[in-house]
Structure 1
Amino acid sequence: MASQFQRAIDPSLHPLVTGNYRIATPAIEALYELVDRCLRYRVMGALIHGPSRVGKTRAIEYVRLLLARDHPKMTSYHAQCEHKPRHAEGPFFANLLEAVGDPDPNAGSNPSKRMRLALRIREAAARAGSGTVLLFCDEAQRYNDNEYEWLRDVHDCLDRQQIKLFTFLVGQQELLAQKTALQVAGKTQIVARLMVEELVFHGIRNAEDVATCLNGYDQTAYPADSQWSFTRFYVPAAFDAGYRLVSDAGVLWQAFESAHNRANLPGQLSIPMESFARAVEIVLKESELKDDSAYRPDPALWAHAVRHSGYVQSRHATGRVLAAA
């Protein structure tokens, strides 16, 4: 039984309980490939667009972890673009100052905020030992033309100081319409600096994508250097007897597909990462007390997990079609 296994940590501290974990998806892998390509070819700006709640914010966090591992001398920032009733210069630079760790982002005049932003980035680049900095602007569809111009000014200012700023605008599908509008308006300098590459960010679109994600739970260990993968932590007897979540990829995909069709939701099925992760967490937590060497989650449990994952509820609430573009 599961109680025979001495786990490496207190179960209440496990990332599956705290929610502090990231699992790679095909869309995240595509995002990292885009970032890597931009760095390699010196493409200074890209936009990444997709429906809400498909995991774009989590993807940024995951990619930043990979960057820290693969490019330890590069500095990266994650700015959460805010909804503002009016688009003023002060709040824009205060938001970026907060993202780069300034202790008092609202202090000072607008020109001083601009100067301080460049200073903070320059200091971080010097500490890291590289003149390359990456900025991920989350929910970037909230920017207007002026804010794109101010962002371009930041690029130019840092460029004069031999610092290359790569900007990745991440947001909903409206981002693509903004790019088109800028092109039509003749503001090609913004497009050429901030919006050169494009990537459609999508949810989990087929059983193969499901398998890729489930394999992450089977392979990812916590603590990192232990033998305790996420799956083994919850069903150690079944895991040691050969069970892996990835073997249920088809069952989980079918459970989401059935829920999608029963609810008469429009478009092709594309599972948001939030709903997917919740379903997996439900199955692992429900399986913990049933664990033995012969245990395998029943298809009915996967169906139960999908019902409580929030997928159908969130689709009804938003009315958004999550089908991949």
Structure 2
Amino acid sequence: MSLEVPRPIDPSLHPLVTGNYRLATPAIEAFYELVTRCLRYRIPGALIYGPPRIGKTRAIEYVRLLLARQHPKMSSYHAQCEHKPKHAEGPFFTNLLEAVGDHAPHAGTSSAKRTRLSLRIREAAARAGSGTVLLFCDESQRYNENEYEWLRDVHDALDRQQIKLFTFLVGQQELLAQKTALQVAGKTQIVARLMVEELAFYGIKNPEDVATCLNGYDQTAYPEGSHWSFTRFYIPQAFDAGYRLVADSGTLWQAFEAAHHKASLPGNLEIPMESFTRAVEIVLKESELKDAPGYCPEAALWTHAVQHCGYVQSRHATGRVLAAV
């Protein structure tokens, strides 16, 4: 049995248990390419938009991890835009100060917060040894025109100090409507600074995408540099005998397809990252007790995992059609 095979770490510390891991999907790769293109061509801002629960927040975290590895001198921040009944300047700058790690984000007047934000970013850039800073604003459809203006002011203030700020507005489809409304209203300075490029973010759309993601479990090692891929950690005997999750990509896609049709959900199948990872985790955890040379999960287990991963429930709950991109 799999549990008798000694593991390199305590299983309770594994990323699959803690949830602290990120998978590269084709959409995340497109997001990273957009970011690197903006850096290369010095495009100061872009929109990344898509339906809720599709994996945009996880994508930001993955892109930031990749940036830290590929561009260690660049600083990047992840601001979570809050829903506020009043769009006041003080809370807006408090939110950004929290994102950049200020110790007392609520302290001081709006203008003091604004000054401190520029100072914190400048200090981080100096420590890192680069004049380039990236800011990812999550759920940014919650911003209104004033907040976009204040964000533009931050760009200008840093620009005067020879610091180049790149802003990535990540949110729901309403972001696109906001861009159009700003263009119609003649607010071209906001669009030209914060909304130049656009990317429609999407879920897992076909069996090839499923294979790409399952391959991540087969290839990614933890601890890093060890021979213990995520798949091997859970079913080492099956893995050592040649089984790989990627071999079941068609089966998993069909299981999602069957659930989609059975629930009479509208639109084409597009699997949110949250549902996908939960389904794979269910299969690995259930397989752990059945591990043996020659073991591979039955189609019924993949169907069970899809039923319990929350895909149908979340689609019914949001009542949203995932637009085909």
TM bin, normalised by shorter chain, reads over 0.9
1:76 aligns to what SS in structure 2? strand
Q: Which residue of 1 aligns with 2:73?
A: 73
CA distance in 2, matches of 1:2, 1:286: 11
Deviation at 1:323, TM superposition (A): 3.3
Deviation at 1:2, TM superposition (A): 1.6
Deviation at 1:4, TM superposition (A): 4.2
Q: Which runs of 5+ in 2 are unaligned?
A: none
Pairs within 5 Å for 1:199-218: 199-218=199-218
Q: Which residue of 2 aligns with 1:243?
A: 243
Partners of 2:204 and 2:270 within 8 A in 1? yes
AA aligned to 1:17 is V
1:256 aligns to what SS in structure 2? helix
Q: Which residue of 1 aligns with 2:41?
A: 41
Q: Which residue of 1 aligns with 2:156?
A: 156
Partners of 2:49 and 2:170 within 8 A in 1? yes
Q: Which residue of 2 aligns with 1:96?
A: 96
1:63 aligns to what SS in structure 2? helix
CA distance in 1, matches of 2:277, 2:56: 14
CA distance in 1, matches of 2:301, 2:69: 37
AA aligned to 2:222 is Y
CA distance in 2, matches of 1:293, 1:196: 53
Partners of 1:78 and 1:136 within 8 A in 2? yes
Q: Which residue of 2 aligns with 1:171?
A: 171
Deviation at 1:294, TM superposition (A): 1.2
Deviation at 1:270, TM superposition (A): 0.4
Deviations 1:127-177 (A, max 9, x none): 000000000000000000000000000000000000000000000000000
TM-score, length-scaled by structure 1: 0.99
Partners of 1:90 and 1:113 within 8 A in 2? yes
AA aligned to 1:155 is H
Q: Which residue of 1 aligns with 2:19?
A: 19
CA distance in 2, matches of 1:36, 1:116: 28
AA aligned to 1:89 is E
AA aligned to 2:70 is D
Partners of 2:3 and 2:288 within 8 A in 1? no
Partners of 1:203 and 1:324 within 8 A in 2? no
AA aligned to 1:257 is E
CA distance in 1, matches of 2:30, 2:314: 25
CA distance in 1, matches of 2:183, 2:322: 27
AA aligned to 1:187 is K
Pair 1:107 & 2:107 matched: yes
1:247 aligns to what SS in structure 2? helix
Pairs within 5 Å for 1:1-325: 1-325=1-325
AA aligned to 2:203 is G
CA distance in 2, matches of 1:220, 1:198: 30
CA distance in 1, matches of 2:251, 2:217: 16
Size of the aligned set, in residue pairs, is 325
CA distance in 2, matches of 1:164, 1:274: 34
Deviation at 1:225, TM superposition (A): 1.1
Partners of 1:269 and 1:323 within 8 A in 2? no
AA aligned to 1:92 is F
Deviation at 1:324, TM superposition (A): 2.7
CA distance in 1, matches of 2:55, 2:4: 36
AA aligned to 1:122 is R
Partners of 1:2 and 1:288 within 8 A in 2? yes
Deviation at 1:120, TM superposition (A): 0.1
Partners of 1:27 and 1:201 within 8 A in 2? yes
AA aligned to 2:156 is D
Partners of 1:47 and 1:197 within 8 A in 2? yes
Runs of 4+ deviating beyond 3 Å: none
CA distance in 1, matches of 2:286, 2:165: 46
TM-score, length-scaled by structure 2: 0.99
Identity rate, percent: 82
